[in-house]
A = this chain, B = another copy of it.
Amino acid sequence: MSADPVFDPPREIGILIFDDVEELDFVGPWEVLQMINTVARHLGEAARVRVRLISPDGGDITAVKGMRVGAHAAMADVDALDVILVPGGNGTRPLIERDDVMEWVSRIGKQARLVTSVCTGAFVIAKAGFLKGRRAATYWAAFDEFRALGLEGELVPDVRYVRDGNVVTSAGVSAGIDMSLWLVGQWYSPAFARMVARGMQYDPAPPYAADV
């Protein structure tokens, strides 16, 4: 459908969740990506994607601000994905020390069409080697820590998201919404992405935005 095979529409999308993940990091993309099916249904079509929340062992996780969330699958249940999305949060620091998680992210990422992250999820995909020699975004406050950990990747400041090859990374927390919506437009069309945005009334107007 796309001239760029990286952006051929996906079928299977998996979002990794884990203890101390930041809530909006994964729920923002979840809302956008599931809205693809809501819009398709409104158009009289079948679902276009299957989006699953995947936790390491398939059990519930407790996100960093205290929300407990169930998983649709365990890592062991998932051998292939078209798109993997790794959100951030304080939980990414212990996560990159877990051999089982890093093995899974590395293996699934290698066969995926797209490897994506939000916020400090970039730490996880960097540790798995996906940002080596690539430009990437991460949380604004995490640049020094990324480098101190010896992770490889060329961090880009002051952007919402970066695409480099088949890796797409976003800045912190709320930036995952913009990144996901951008992907929707690449997969289908800008018009379809606008329908998704309209479905979630995404016409943001941040209060107090100016330094008044």
A interface, CB within 8 angstroms of B: 22-24, 27-28, 30-31, 34-35, 38, 53, 60, 65-70, 72, 119, 139-140, 160, 171-175, 177-178, 181-182, 185, 190, 193-194, 197-209, 211-212
Contact = CB atoms under 8 A, between A and B. Distances in A.
A175 B140 CA distance: 24
26 contacts: A24-B27, A24-B28, A27-B31, A30-B65, A31-B173, A60-B70, A67-B70, A139-B201, A160-B204, A160-B205, A174-B203, A175-B201, A177-B204, A178-B204, A178-B205, A178-B206, A178-B207, A181-B206, A181-B207, A185-B208, A190-B207, A190-B208, A193-B207, A193-B208, A202-B206, A203-B209
Nearest to A42: B141
Contacts of A66: 34, 72
A173 B193 contact: no
Contacts of A185: 207-208
A174 to B, nearest CB: 5
A190 to B, nearest CB: 4
